[in-house]
Amino acid sequence: MKKTMILTSMALISLVAVGCANEEVKDTQDNQPVISTNMEEVQTEGNANMKKSLIVYFSYGENSELPQDVDASASASIQKWNDENTGNTGIVAHIIQEKTKGDMFSVQTVNKYPSTYNETVNQGKQEHENNIRPELANHITNLDDYDTIFVGYPNWWYDMPMAMYSFFDEYDLSNKTIIPFNTSGGSAFSDTINTIKKLEPNANVIEGITIRAEDVEFSQNEIDEWLNDLGYNI
């Protein structure tokens, strides 16, 4: 009886050894590492509930009839990013995107603003005084994918551009965290944080960062520190 049990145990050990040897060959064949499919599934499941941030912004340079080869140095409000026209707020938005890896949404109006800044300033004033809310040309279709929304805009007449009112009219950001950022000639946020709280009463609105237009070009470190404080671990 004992002899039979010993022989059986030896047979099992041999089978296990052969199986392990086969697995070792499989994992190292052709000197190529084998990526476990199961590990990929675990990683996917682990990230399934993670939501990205969305960076929403309005920029004059992306909403005007500017020629593509416009001289960016001709106006302090026009900037270039990857050879594309944008503005001061657009630059800040792209820096935030690079650091947070969030998605981008540039608020675009159906009717473009004039190619000269002074004309645009006058049009912005008329829109503000008459509560004109421009029609938007593009729309977010996957808002549920995001729980944090960075919202950027320049200060126009001590307020947001009216296109941003159109944006808040269109979307219900209840239960989301809204982090405003803006650029200005010196007026900072003015009262726009309170305005956003009124427009989105069920959102968590926290005051973000405001940068003077003349400092945008040198603002990367300041933005990095701010994002670190928010927990983005830049």
- Distance spanning both ends of the chain, measured CA to CA: 69
Average pLDDT over residues 53-63: 92
Residue 56 confidence (pLDDT):
98
Average pLDDT over residues 41-55: 53
Residue 234 confidence (pLDDT):
55
Mean pLDDT of the chain: 78
Cβ 127 vs Cβ 118: under 8 Å? no
Average pLDDT over residues 149-153: 98
Least confident of 50-54, 97-101, 142-146, 218-222: 50-54
pTM > 0.85: yes or no: no
The three-state secondary structure class of 148 is strand
Residue 39 confidence (pLDDT):
27
Residue 217 scores a pLDDT above 90: no
Of residues 40 and 12, which shows the higher confidence score? 12
Token duo for residue 25? 């060959």
Residue 54 confidence (pLDDT):
98
Residue 220 scores a pLDDT above 50: yes
Q: How confident is the model at residue 78 (pLDDT cuts 50, 70, 90)?
A: low
Q: How confident is the model at residue 10 (pLDDT cuts 50, 70, 90)?
A: very low
Report pLDDT digits (tens) over 225-234: 999 999 887 5
SS3 content of the chain, % helix, strand, coil (to 5): 45, 20, 35
User: What is the DSSP code string of 70-124?
Assistant: --GGG-TTEEEETTEEEEHHHHHHHHHHHHH--EEEE--BSSPBPSSHHHHHHHH
Least confident of 3-7, 56-60, 113-117: 3-7
Report pLDDT digits (tens) over 99-148: 999 999 999 999 999 888 788 889 999 999 999 999 999 999 999 999 99
